Amino acid sequence: MSDTPKDDPWTQGEMSSSSGKGAAAAAGGSGPDKSGGSGPAEPGGNGPVGSSGGSGPAESSGGSGPAEHGGSGPAGSSGGSGPAEPGGSGPAESSGDSAEVLRERQRLAQIESMDRWIQSVLVEQRRSRRWKLFFRFAWLALLLGVAALVGFALLMVPGDEREQARHLGVVKVDGVIDSESPANAERLIEGIEAAWESPSSAAVVLHINSPGGSPVQSQRVYKAVMALRERGDKPIVAVVEDLGASGAYYMASAADEIVAAPSSLVGSIGVIYAGFGLEGAIDDLGVERRVFTAGDNKAFLDPFSEMRPEQQAFWQEVLDTTHQQFIDAVKAGRGDRLADDPRIFSGLIWTGEQALELGLVDRLGTLDEEAYEWLDQPRIKDYTPSQDPFDRLARRFGVGVAQWMGLPQASSPVRYQLP
């Protein structure tokens, strides 16, 4: 028996098994059943147990609930929009995103590395370009310098000596007179002859600033000057600057006139030889000197050997003979202008004023004053031959090394020179 009224519509709806709208049909429904009905009925009714055609949230196929295969609920397995395993759009996409980010980072790193390489190549190219420009400018400057020197040399070479203005032809005698020094006879004679042969030179001037030196070099220049002086075509004047002593005065005495400043030092007509006697020193040190000679007097100038009296007398005779040659040359050059004073040839040196009184010089003056003396418009031209700087350096180096090592020198030990 049933207490439920027959006419109750709700009761009738619940009891219906074929056409009702259950909450859980199994197929096609929207309820929680497995098929699809919309009610809960299993086969097709409206109840909660539908299985095939209801509209409830079925699990298996076609429904709109959270079915396993095609539903849109969170438990679908094949085609739903929830977090399904094969084709869903949930967290399964994170691995693909990470690979894409990694590839993008690698691409950016490659681009950055390429940029750095390009920058280094550009820097190296700029550096190479700067060096190329530097060397090009250096070569250009060198070529311009050579061209300027050549042009200067061409401009300085006279096209015609007769068109040059009148001038004094000067030859400089500077420093020690020696075959290995700038003041050597060959160089000085070359300059004197060039100044003499120039039709534009009003006079030849020996501009002297020297303590003297080699007797042979002095004699060579003296004879060359005397030969030109005897021709008489052009005056030769010796102008003493600071010092015109010994061999330098030997040269000057061949000139037509000698001019000196009031404070110049002139004279020292004498001969000198200087050495040492060290035989006692090596005896004290216990050193034995071994010298082998052929000739009894071959080593008489050896500083470690004792000089015998007859050897000393012989060497003094050599010095006296050389001194007499000096005296004869000065007398031949100066003539009657010399005072009758035996001190002149004693080796003393005099100031310009004292030398004037003794007849050693003709007047007091300087090179500039001589230019005004001889020319209305004073001009001076240097005829001293230029010297190769490398040759000069090599000579000085050789002489210095030889002196330091104590090697014998080519120059004479007898000197027309101040000590």
For strands 36-37 and 28-29, give the pairing.
parallel
- CA–CA distance, 35 with 55 (Å, rounded to integer): 9
Residues in CB range of 89: below 8 A, 6 or more apart: 81
**Angle 309-334/215-231 helices, nearest 10 degrees?**
20
Of the residues 98, 132, 263, 298, only one is catalytic, namely: 298
Alpha carbon distance, N-terminus to C-terminus of the chain: 169
| Helix (H/G/I), strand (E/B), else coil: 5 | coil
Q: Which residue has the tokens 């003094």?
A: 316
Active site residue 298: yes
CB atoms under 10 Å from CB of 362, counted, come to 18
Helix H or strand E segment including 364? strand 363-364
Q: Is 51 a catalytic residue?
A: no
Residue 187: closest CA among 231, 221, 229:
221
Conformation bin of residue 335: beta by default, left when phi > 0, alpha when psi is -120 to 50: left
E-assigned strand segments in 270-356: 349-351
Between the alpha carbon of residue 102 and those of residues 114, 261, 419, the distances in Å are 18, 99, 96
- The string of DSSP codes covering 272-314 is B------HHHHHHHTPPP----SSTTTTTT-TTSPPPHHHHHH
Q: Which of 246, 264, 268, 411 is catalytic?
A: 246
Residues annotated as catalytic (active site), given as ranges: 246, 298
